[in-house]
Structure formats: structure tokens, C-alpha cells
Amino acid sequence: MSKTLADNHTPMMRQYFGLKSQHPNQLLFYRMGDFYELFYDDAKRAAQLLDITLTARGHSGGQPIPMAGIPFHAAENYIARLVRMGESVVVAEQTGDPATSKGPVERQIARIVTPGTISDEAFLEEKRENLLLSIAHQSRKGLDIFGFSYLDMASGRFCLFEVDGHEALANELQRLSPREILISEDFPARKTLQLEKGIAELGPWHFDYESSYRQLIQQFNTKDLSGFGCEALTAAIASAGALLQYAKDTQRSALPHIQAIMVEHKDDSVLIDAATRRNLEIDINLTGGTSNTLSQVLDQCATPMGSRLLKRWLHTPVRDLNEIQSRQSAVAELKSQFYYQPLNGSLKKVGDLERILSRVALRSARPRDLLRLRFALEMIPLINQDLGNVNSARLSQLNQRIIAQPEITETLTKALVENPPSVVRDGGIFATGYDPELDELLSLSTNATDFLAEMERSEKERTGISSLKVGFNRVHGYYIEISRLHSEQAPVEYIRRQTLKNAERFITPELKTFEDKALSAKSKALAREKELYETLLDQLNQHLGELQTASQALAQLDVLNNFAERADQLNLTQPELHTGRGIDITAGRHPVVESVISEPFVPNDLTLNDQRSLLMITGPNMGGKSTYMRQIALITLLAHTGCFVPAQAASIAVVDRIFTRMGSSDDLAGGRSTFMVEMTETANILNNATQNSLVLMDEVGRGTSTFDGLSLAWAAVEHLAQTLKCYVLFATHYFELTGLAEQLDTAENVHLTATEYEDEIVFLHKVHSGPASQSYGLQVAQLAGVPKNVIQQAKHKLQELETVTGIELDDATHSTVSTTVAASSQQSVMTHHSPQQADLFVQAEQDSLKDSIASLDLDNMTPIEAMNQLYKLKSEL
């Protein structure tokens, strides 16, 4: 702010502008007495977001000052609401004494709260990670390289990796689901982020590689970064340095709980793109909620840190066979010996040790955090004992990392009262006997009641005034109260302190001496408690590394124990994973659907191998095609996390990626139609799938004209089966595609069954070989609530069409019709496969037939019109 402009404002507002200029993009909470005030644009924004009153009190610079106030005791709730909305808040506290200040009371920035850097329990979702993400961009050999680093401030987990291309950028953003993103002001892929809130744009110099490298080696106290395996990841290092500095700035302190950085290797995990995560509803359902998701069904973890790790495992299934089998053996032993039952009880008392330790490291832990830390440490010997006789190497390794801390446990037991206050400033944290000095100071306050009672008794006896009382209030301190009727009998040494309507209050030299001593002792006791608390945090931080190692091991143990409990309660089976080829599932079930329906779930088998790698799935709408496909993907995903699976038996080859293209809607923000979204997802699969990928595709081509859609679907199936040779489940209502099973050696038709009973459709949900015989479209429409008169009209129209074509479209003939149409489609659409398929187009002598074909408006034909024309042409051959 210029000097001329500053001169136009009051001293207090100049102070405000000075603080605001340091944080122009955050909401500034400016402490004034018992309120935090917001001014100008901050006030307008806060009033809108929080639904608080916007006023205009006073003037500065010749203009009224828009302002909004929040009571200081309610500030945490308001800050939490703002942070959940993606806003960042800067809190300026009064640091000077109003009584002695000349001019405005001195104020300083006390803390900065941003969506990605919070660690306070009140601001965090218990079972969700709160990630701060940083992205740096580099161009290498014509490729867009994006360096990612992310930090969970509440746990200290710090990771980095690199990807290339905008598609991979979008996939990782959905996987990580960060609360806040740091980018450079010149970041080239700003639109891909698709976030209105929670994005902080920093100057490009924050992402300088050299300075970022120095930041990291200083944090980890190492000579270089070779020990972390990230030396070659220059874009990721640039992002990590910017993130680390931002985190330090917001915490206004060092970050001792960040002790290492981990490199994520994309080849170590089964890759799942954004569309697949959405379609499989791993932890977010299709409507944006969390109910009826895979995570909800599986998560019975005893600790919040276990729940968060479970979600990471579900989003990042592993490909390392040894790691998978290690997890499986642990789950098998916990389940077979029922170890999971006592362990679950002990783990529940461990609580969120991970986040408690982070607050200890950041020195923001509250007294009740330390009490919960004590409870967690008391459980470790019991957990060690429960795991003492296990055979699983994985469980034994975890047990060795969960080290008991008897000295810390004893210190916390001696130090803390059984029900400590929520904040340090209230006092009353430490137990009697922990510190003699504190005990002495507290005894003065504690014994005040006895002293005052004795003084009241003796003064009544000495003065003979029966109405005399000795009391205390915060304004006037200690006093002797005598009713107005007897006030004239007060001894001469009584000094009048306060006159009331019906009484007089006095002080004596003896009472004044006690008052000074008692009040001084109270302030000294609070100061001593604060000193002792800081010392206790110092002691805990000396063991931070061991405690963090134990918390990480306990989180893993919790997830494995949860897998064992779920396997026992949900009738899950240990799958066999191998590095060969093939996916064989016997009596597989959809874990989420099974958990929400009241009737028994109908299980289904699956066999995919080199001889049978593509299943063409047909059947009526609502018949279970999508459920069947999704359950195969979920069983495969679960197997790669080490979890047991909902099946009677399963043998699954390790896959490198899982793709789904199931259902689409317009991308209005991106300006893409439903068909464009569908084709983008299809292109991603065709360009990135390999022989070891599992691909699920549902209704490809339905968003355009019939023949265009059929042609695209046909070509996609051939590419998947003949070129990529991956595992494919392909659901379609194009019955013409069922003819591919005869053309392609590795394709086979299957269908979901249904039947009619008393004019109503009954879905059997069972998978059988061969194509479907009927679509049951009218019956499904009836189930959907289409008016009866519309259904009757549709039936009448169907009969007319059958009469016109001379074909009865019932169960007995539909298969023949479909086969004929499929054969004709092979001739008309796929003319390049053999000379015989081109007969329809090369019979030059039939000029009238050629003219008929040339005159067909294929793009605007309905399916039934196309079928009628094909039969007409076939009759003329």
C-alpha cells in the first residue's frame, strides 16, 4: 500500500492492510477483543459462505468499512466450515497488552489454516486422508511430464512420482483426491484440474529444481537423495520442494514427523484409470456418496488409520506376487486361528495413533491426545502377546516393528489426570505428585475454600455479626460481605471495597495478602503446567521415529485383521494368484450387491484364457450383465490387494490394468457429448490395454447412429481379440455382434437368462452359453412404470411390424433372426475379411440391387427398418 493511501486510513486499518498484504488470497481473521473481524472483500465472502451478518461500521479512507465478525470462542467451527469449502484462513492474534499499548494493539499472524495442511482433529475426516498435492511440469522429448508429490500432514506420509500425458494426470488426480493442490502460475494444464477451490498458484521460482533439491536434503539431513531412489525424478523433486516449503510456511515451524520420502513406482501396481474408479465405486458411488461402495462393505477396521490404509490398498492394488501372497498368508492365519477377534478389541483402544503422533511432532497435541497416546501404548504388550505364536512371516515382521515403550507409558500414566482438559490453557492437566512445585502452587488455590470458610467462622465470632460472609468474584476478587443493616458494626480495619443495594463489601490486610498470594499462585500454576507440557512433548518427540514405525505397523495389522474378519463373516475365499495366463472364478459374487439385497445372490462362473479370452455378453436390460461384469473386476481387484474374494474358488493371473467403459453422460464442463465421452474412454482402452489387462466394455457405440455404432463396436471387438489379446467382457445389445463368436477363435457368446411368468418378466441372473434369445424390452418398460396404454400401443405396433416383415419375433425365432442379421452385417459392414463377404457388393450384373443399396439412408434408419431392408435384399439374391 502506498504512503499516500496509508495516510488516508486509521492506524488500526493500516496495521490490518499490512497483514493482509502478506496473504492476499486467504481470509484474514483479525482479532479484536472477543471477536475475529473480517473486512472488505473478506467480509463479503465470509458473509456469503458462512451466512453471517455483513455490516458497515465506521469509516477509513473516507469510505465505510464492510465487516463481519465471529466470536472467538466459536472460531474453530467457522474455520472448519471454511476449510471444508476449500478456503484458506489466516489468523492474526493480539500479542500486545491493550492496557499499555500506545496506538493499535500489536498483532501477529499466529497460524495459517489451509485445506491441505490441517492436522487438528476437529478439521479432519476420520477415515479419509487429507492430502496436499504439488504438481510440476516439464517437457522432455516432446512429452508432457508431470511431477507429483503429496503429503498427508496429519500422518507425515510424503510420496512422489512422475507420469506423462494429460490422461495420466487426470487419473492420478482422481486416485489421490487431494484437498489442496499447489501449481505454478504458468502451469500448462490448469483446466485438467477441474477444481474451483483448493488450488494455490505459486510463483514459478518455488518449483526450481536446485532449490527444491536443497530443501529435501536439508529436511532429511542427507548428502543427496540417492538413498530414496528419486534422483532421476527431476519434475517430482521440483514439486516436492515447493510442497515442503509451503507446508513449513503454513505450520510456521519445522516438520520433524516428515522423516522420509517414498517413490511410487507405477509398474508396482495395477493401474486403474479415472473412469474405472468411478464405475467400480471403490469408495465413492456414482451419485458422489459413500454408501453401497466396496470400501463401505469391506471396512470394519478397528482404527481410523487402518480405514485410511485400506482405501489406499483398494485404490492401489499391487502386482508383486510375493507381496500379495505375504498378505494372504497373514489373513489366512488370522482367520483360521480366530486371532482376529482378540486383536480387534486391542486395536480399537489404539485409536488414531498416526495422527496423534503428528500433532505431537507439530507441538499442537492437546492433553486428551496424550491420554489417548497412553491408552494406545498400553495395548502394545497385549498385541505383542497375541502375535507371539504366529507362523506367518508377515505378522512376525509387523510384531517386531510394534515395540513397547514402557518408560513413555509410565511417564504418561504418572503425569496425566484421568480426565484432562481439552486445551492446555485451562490447566488441570497434571496429576498430583507428578511435580512438587506445581502441587505447592495448586494447593493455594485448592485450599482457598478451607481458608475462606475458617476466616468466615472466626470473623463472625470476633465481630458478632451473624450475616457476615466471605466470598470471591472475578471482578473484585476476595471480599467480606456484611448486610447494610449491620454494616455500621464493621471493625475499623475493614476497608470498604464495594457498595451494593443491600450490603457492603470489605477487604482486610489479611484477606488482601491471601488474595495476592492465591491469584499469583494460580497464574504461576498455569505457567508451570505449560512448561511441564512442553517438556513432556520434548520427551515424546525423542521417541517419535520408533512410535511412527509402530503406528504404521499397527495400521497394516488392522487392515489384515479386517480382511480376516471380512473373510469369515462374508464367506470369502483365498484366491490363487499366478504369473501365467487365465482368470477362472467359480461361483463368483458381487460383494456390494450381495450386501444390500434381501434375497440370496445368484453366483456365476467365469473362465478366460488364451483360447477363450473374450466373452460377448447379451441379455435383457436389468438382467444382470453389468453386475456380472463389475463383480469380475472387483474380484480381480480384491485379489491383488491380498484380500479374500467372494467366490467358491478363484485362480487369477496377475493383471497390469483394469479398464471399464460402462455408462456415460455428457461432460458439460469439458464441452463433450455423451458419445464423445464414450469414444474417449474407448480410445484410452484401445491405446493402452495390453495382453495382461482386464477390459470391461458395455454398450459401445450406442451413442450414435445404428450402423456407425455397430461398425465401431465390431472393429473394437476385433482389435481387442486379435491385436491386444487381453481379457475382455463385452456386453452389447447389438445382436449382430454375436456372430463374431464364429469368426474369432478366442470369442464366445454368453447370456444372462430371464423368463416370463403370467405376462411378467422374471430375471434369473444366471450366465449361460450362447447368445440371448430375446431382449424383453417391453417387459422392462412395464417394470419401469411406463403407462399401460403406452405398453399396449407398443405391443400393437410390434404385431404390425411382425405382420409387415412376415416374421414372428418371439423366443423361438429371434435367435434365427439375429443370426441372419449378423450374417448380413458381416457381409455389408466387414467386407474386408474374405471374398465371400463381398458378394453383396460385387454382383455388378444386378444393377437394380445395387441401386437399392445405394439409395438406403443408413444413418437415419431405425434398427427394425435396417433389419427389414436386409431381409428384402436377401430375398432378391
Return the pLDDT at 808: 47
- Of residues 608 and 854, more confidence is placed in 608
Return the pLDDT at 805: 52
The CA distance from 869 to 855, in Å, is 11
623 labeled binding residue: yes
Q: Collapse the DSSP code of 511 into the 3-class scheme (helix H, G, I; strand E, B; otherwise coil) and give the result.
A: helix
Is it the case that residue 640 has pLDDT exceeding 90?
yes
402 Cβ neighbours under 8 A, 6+ residues apart: 380, 383, 384, 387, 550, 553, 554, 557
The CA distance from 378 to 373, in Å, is 9
Name which of 139-143, 177-181, 727-731, 860-864 the model is least confident about: 860-864
pTM of the model as a whole: 0.82
Of 168, 132, 136, nearest to 153 (Cα)? 132
622 labeled binding residue: yes
344 labeled binding residue: no
Of 817, 609, 584, nearest to 727 (Cα)? 609
455 Cβ neighbours under 8 A, 6+ residues apart: 470, 510, 511
The CA distance from 789 to 798, in Å, is 14
The CA distance from 158 to 411, in Å, is 31
Report the interhelical angle of 544-569 vs 304-315 (nearest 10°).
70
The CA distance from 805 to 870, in Å, is 11
Return the pLDDT at 860: 58
Judging by DSSP bridges, how do beta strands 143-152 and 131-140 pair with one another? antiparallel
Highest mean pLDDT among 9-18, 277-286, 803-812: 277-286
Name which of 172-181, 736-745, 805-814 the model is least confident about: 805-814
Provide the terminal-to-terminal Cα distance of the chain, rounded to the nearest Å. 88
Confidence band, pLDDT 50/70/90 cuts, at residue 501: confident
Q: What is the mean pLDDT of residues 80-98?
A: 88
Return the pLDDT at 834: 37
Is it the case that residue 318 has pLDDT exceeding 90?
yes
Is it the case that residue 818 has pLDDT exceeding 50?
no
Report the percentage of the chain scoring pLDDT > 70: 86
CA distances from 875 to 574, 736, 805, 824, 836 (A): 57, 19, 12, 12, 18
The CA distance from 666 to 679, in Å, is 12
Return the pLDDT at 876: 63
**Type and span of the H or E element at 630:** helix 625-639
CB < 8 Å & 24+ apart, contacts of 829-832:
829/707, 829/710, 829/711, 829/714, 830/714
Is it the case that residue 676 has pLDDT exceeding 90?
no
Residue 29 pairs with which residues in a beta bridge?
91
Of 177, 153, 157, 173, nearest to 165 (Cα)? 173
Q: What is the mean pLDDT of residues 69-75?
A: 89
Q: What is the mean pLDDT of residues 625-635?
A: 96
Return the pLDDT at 872: 66
* Three-class HEC string of 535-592: HHHHHHHCCHHHHHHHHHHHHHHHHHHHHHHHHHHCCCECCEEECCCCEEEEEECCHH
Report the percentage of the chain scoring pLDDT > 90: 59
The CA distance from 842 to 851, in Å, is 13
The CA distance from 280 to 640, in Å, is 15
The CA distance from 68 to 73, in Å, is 16
Return the pLDDT at 5: 46
Q: What is the mean pLDDT of residues 190-209?
A: 86
Q: What is the mean pLDDT of residues 675-689?
A: 85
The CA distance from 555 to 497, in Å, is 62
Is it the case that residue 69 has pLDDT exceeding 80?
yes
Q: What is the mean pLDDT of residues 753-767?
A: 78
Name which of 176-180, 302-306, 477-481, 779-783 the model is least confident about: 779-783
Is it the case that residue 668 has pLDDT exceeding 80?
no
- Of residues 759 and 357, more confidence is placed in 357
Is it the case that residue 510 has pLDDT exceeding 50?
yes
Q: What is the mean pLDDT of residues 429-444?
A: 91
In this predicted model, what pLDDT tens digit does every residue of 547-599 receive, in sequence order?
999 999 999 999 999 999 999 999 999 999 999 999 999 999 999 999 999 99
Q: What is the mean pLDDT of residues 677-704?
A: 87
Of 86, 112, 89, nearest to 248 (Cα)? 112
Residue 141: DSSP 8-state: T
The CA distance from 39 to 48, in Å, is 13
All cell numbers assigned to 453: 470458610
203 labeled binding residue: no
Q: What is the mean pLDDT of residues 205-215?
A: 96
Is it the case that residue 670 has pLDDT exceeding 60?
no
Count of other CB atoms within 10 angstroms of residue 266: 12
Q: Collapse the DSSP code of 148 into the 3-class scheme (helix H, G, I; strand E, B; otherwise coil) and give the result.
A: strand
All cell numbers assigned to 690: 495390453
User: What is the set of domains in the chain, with CATH numbers?
Assistant: 11-113 (3.40.1170.10), 127-266 (3.30.420.110), 299-348+363-466+508-570 (1.10.1420.10), 576-771 (3.40.50.300)
309 Cβ neighbours under 8 A, 6+ residues apart: 555, 556, 558, 559
Q: DSSP of 174-187, one letter per residue? A: HHH--SEEEEETT-
Check: CB of residue 465 under 8 Å from CB of residue 482: yes
| One-letter amino acid for residue 849 of the chain | L
Name which of 9-13, 59-63, 253-257, 611-615 the model is least confident about: 59-63
The CA distance from 202 to 207, in Å, is 8
Name which of 100-104, 184-188, 703-707, 793-797 the model is least confident about: 703-707
Is it the case that residue 703 has pLDDT exceeding 80?
no
C-alpha 398: how far from its chain's center? 26
Name which of 32-41, 721-730, 826-835 the model is least confident about: 826-835
Query: Helices (DSSP H) in 694-737: which residue ranges?
Result: 706-718
Return the pLDDT at 517: 82
Of 860, 875, 853, 757, nearest to 807 (Cα)? 875
Is it the case that residue 816 has pLDDT exceeding 60?
no
Q: What is the mean pLDDT of residues 308-319?
A: 97
All cell numbers assigned to 709: 455404432
157 Cβ neighbours under 8 A, 6+ residues apart: 151, 262
Q: What is the mean pLDDT of residues 859-874?
A: 60
609 labeled binding residue: no
Mean pLDDT for the chain? 86
Residue with cell 476437529: 122
Count of other CB atoms within 10 angstroms of residue 39: 19
Is it the case that residue 665 has pLDDT exceeding 60?
no
The CA distance from 715 to 717, in Å, is 5
119 labeled binding residue: no
Return the pLDDT at 63: 77
The CA distance from 530 to 610, in Å, is 70
**Sheet-wide strand order for 89-94:** 55-60, 63-71, 35-39, 27-32, 89-94, 107-113
Check: CB of residue 802 under 8 Å from CB of residue 817: no
Count of other CB atoms within 10 angstroms of residue 539: 13
